Structure 1
Amino acid sequence: MSFLYEERTSSSPYVDVVWQTRDVSDGTYLASADACWDMIFTVGPDGSRRALLCGPASRPVEVPYVAGNLNVGVRFAPGAFFTHVPARTLCDRTVLLPMPDAGHFELAGAGWPFPGYGDVDDLADAFGRHGLLRLDEVVGAALDGGAPHLSARTVERHFTHATGLSPGHVRQITRARAAVARLQQGRAIADVAHDLGYADQSHLTRDLKRLTGYTPGQSQGRSEPV
Structure 2
Amino acid sequence: MEYKIIRAGKALEPFISFFWELRGSQSKAELERVYPDGCSGILINIGSKCMTDNGSLSMDSGKTYVVGAMNSFKDSIIETDTHLLGACLKPAAFSNFYCYDPQSALSNNTVEFEKSKSFDIDRVIADPFNYFECFFNDRMKSSYNPLQPVINDIDAAKGNMGIRELSQKHCTTVRQLERNFKKYIGLSPKEYSNIIRFQNALNIVRNSDHNRSLSDIAFECGYYDHAHLTNEIKRYTGFSPSLL
TM tier relative to shorter chain: 0.7 to 0.9
Q: Indicate how the Cα distance of structure 1 residues 94 and 172 shifts in structure 2: closer, same or farther if over 3 A, else same.
A: same
Structure with more helix by fraction: 2
Which SS does the other structure have where 2:187 is aligned? Answer: coil
Which SS does the other structure have where 1:165 is aligned? Answer: coil
Query: In structure 2, what is the Cα distance between the partners aligned to 1:185 and 1:118?
Result: 34
Per-residue deviation at 1:55?
1.1
Which SS does the other structure have where 2:140 is aligned? Answer: helix
Mind listing any 5+ residue stretches in structure 2 that lack a counterpart?
50-60, 158-165
Partner of 1:20: 21
Partner of 1:113: 120
Partner of 1:32: 35
Given that 1:37 and 1:76 are in contact with CA atoms closer than 8 Å, whether structure 2 keeps it comes out as: yes
Given that 1:156 and 1:166 are in contact with CA atoms closer than 8 Å, whether structure 2 keeps it comes out as: yes
Mind listing any 5+ residue stretches in structure 1 that lack a counterpart?
99-104, 220-226
Query: RMSD of aligned C-alpha atoms?
Result: 2.7
Given that 2:42 and 2:66 are in contact with CA atoms closer than 8 Å, whether structure 1 keeps it comes out as: yes
Partner of 1:102: none
Per-residue deviation at 1:75?
1.6
Per-residue deviation at 1:76?
0.9
Partner of 2:135: 123
Structure with more strand by fraction: 1
Do residues 68 (structure 1) and 74 (structure 2) align? no
Query: In structure 2, what is the Cα distance between the partners aligned to 1:191 and 1:9?
Result: 34
Q: Indicate how the Cα distance of structure 1 residues 139 and 38 shifts in structure 2: closer, same or farther if over 3 A, else same.
A: farther
Aligned 1:3-152 pairs, distance under 5 A: 3-10=1-8, 11=10, 12=12, 13-24=14-25, 25-44=28-47, 48-82=61-95, 83-98=99-114, 105-107=115-117, 112-114=119-121, 115=124, 116-129=128-141, 135-136=145-146, 137-143=148-154, 144-145=156-157, 148-152=169-173
Which SS does the other structure have where 1:135 is aligned? Answer: coil
Q: Indicate how the Cα distance of structure 1 residues 215 and 119 shifts in structure 2: closer, same or farther if over 3 A, else same.
A: farther
Aligned sequence identity (%) = 20
